[in-house]
Amino acid sequence: MKAIELSQYGPPEVLQIKEVEKPVPKDNEVLIRVHATTVNFGDLIARNFKAVTPRNFNMPGLFWFFAKMYFGFNKPNVKRLGSEFSGVVESTGKAVTAYKPGDPVFGYPGQPMGAYAEYLCMPESGVLAPKPANMSHEEAAASAYGNIMALYLLREAGIQKGQKVLINGASGSIGSGAVQVAKHFGAEVTAVCGTAGLDYVKALGADKAIDYRREDFTESSETYDFVLDVLGRVSFSRCKKVLSENGRLQYVSFKMKQLLQMLTTSIAGNKKVVCKLAPGSVEDLKAVKELIEAGEIRAILDKSFPMEQAAEAHRYAEEGGSRGPVVITLT
């Protein structure tokens, strides 16, 4: 089979098509013919992890160290990227009961990645679910990672009907899921993103869109019950004035400073800082599938590239401001 692999860290050109052995599913695994995968934040960072320092890493230093151990210090241990996909079950291990050959599925292999290949094995109990019936493979591939993170984080935050919610980083994978999930919970949603993503976030259902390059939302007279900051770009001291009486600022990406602020604001003050990790679970993927089929979550793709143009896909995703998912097709 063909796979997109990297043998060294670096620019998009390190992604090369290789002829490799087709995997064989273990007893508890399904072999999936991958039809589409995406270029997301994790793929871009894992392709050039050598350049990631504790300072420019979006999470605490200890997380950086463990990520570095996993992905490799100077050479990539993870050679096949791709943390979300859509495809069709080709064959199953003998202990598998939930899936059979021919079933369309979508999923999130997460940190082990591996979806940049024509075939992928995943445990039947992995983050895998039947593909939403109303989506193409390209749309379904782009609907796993960001939506399961967003659904978990906003459900845990207890977003209520009528609340005012602001998503900072709304045009990326988690942000676009968060805009739609917050609308599903009945919130009034303000989406903050770059210029290129303004029409995209409005098309996803945002009530208002703010270009962070032109306007600082913390300087506005609006207040919000809940602010979700995807990349951890806004400080609590700045955000405080736009939080309502018992408002919360939740960081999806955070450092030690924000963890300490979570501790101190949990003891004193009405306005809170929250830092939370989403597990990326199969239950959430199944819930996302239901929301997609109910028309509550949709995928508006930016651009699709064939696997032979994986390097171009990475360059495009890296250079352009986010205006929807960038997809790689493998059929």
Closest distance of CB 41 from ligand NAP, Å = 3
Q: Which is nearer to ligand NAP, 31 or 193 (CB)?
A: 193
What are the backbone angles phi and psi of residue 282, rounded to the nearest 5°?
-65, -35
CA separation for the pair 168, 209 (Å, rounded): 10
Closest distance of CB 65 from ligand NAP, Å = 14
Q: Which is nearer to ligand NAP, 99 or 106 (CB)?
A: 106
Q: Which is nearer to ligand NAP, 58 or 163 (CB)?
A: 58
CA separation for the pair 5, 148 (Å, rounded): 26
Cβ-based neighbours of 63, under 8 Å, separated by 6 or more: 57
Q: Which is nearer to ligand NAP, 59 or 151 (CB)?
A: 59
Which helix (H) or strand (E) segment holds residue 41: the answer is helix 41-47
CA separation for the pair 45, 59 (Å, rounded): 13
The dihedral over CA atoms of 315, 317, 319, 324, expressed in degrees to the nearest 10, equals 160
Cβ-based neighbours of 69, under 8 Å, separated by 6 or more: none
> Three-class SS of residue 203?
helix
Residues lying near ligand NAP in the complex (CB under 6 A): 40-41, 58-59, 146, 149, 168-175, 192-194, 196-197, 212, 230-231, 233, 252-253, 276-278, 321-322
Closest distance of CB 78 from ligand NAP, Å = 16
Q: Which is nearer to ligand NAP, 86 or 171 (CB)?
A: 171
Q: In the numeric block, which tokens belong to residue 284?
A: 């959430």
Closest distance of CB 252 from ligand NAP, Å = 4
Half-sphere exposure at residue 292, Cβ-oriented, CA atoms within 13 angstroms: 27
Q: Which is nearer to ligand NAP, 17 or 52 (CB)?
A: 52
CA separation for the pair 315, 59 (Å, rounded): 24
Cβ-based neighbours of 170, under 8 Å, separated by 6 or more: 176, 178, 179, 191, 192, 193, 197, 201, 206, 209, 230
| Residue nearest ligand NAP (C-beta atom) | 172
CA separation for the pair 21, 102 (Å, rounded): 21
Q: Which is nearer to ligand NAP, 40 or 86 (CB)?
A: 40
Closest distance of CB 146 from ligand NAP, Å = 6
Closest distance of CB 130 from ligand NAP, Å = 23
Closest distance of CB 198 from ligand NAP, Å = 9
Closest distance of CB 278 from ligand NAP, Å = 4
Strands 243-251, 224-229: parallel, antiparallel or unpaired by DSSP?
A: parallel
Q: Which is nearer to ligand NAP, 64 or 185 (CB)?
A: 64
Q: In the numeric block, which tokens belong to residue 53?
A: 């320092």
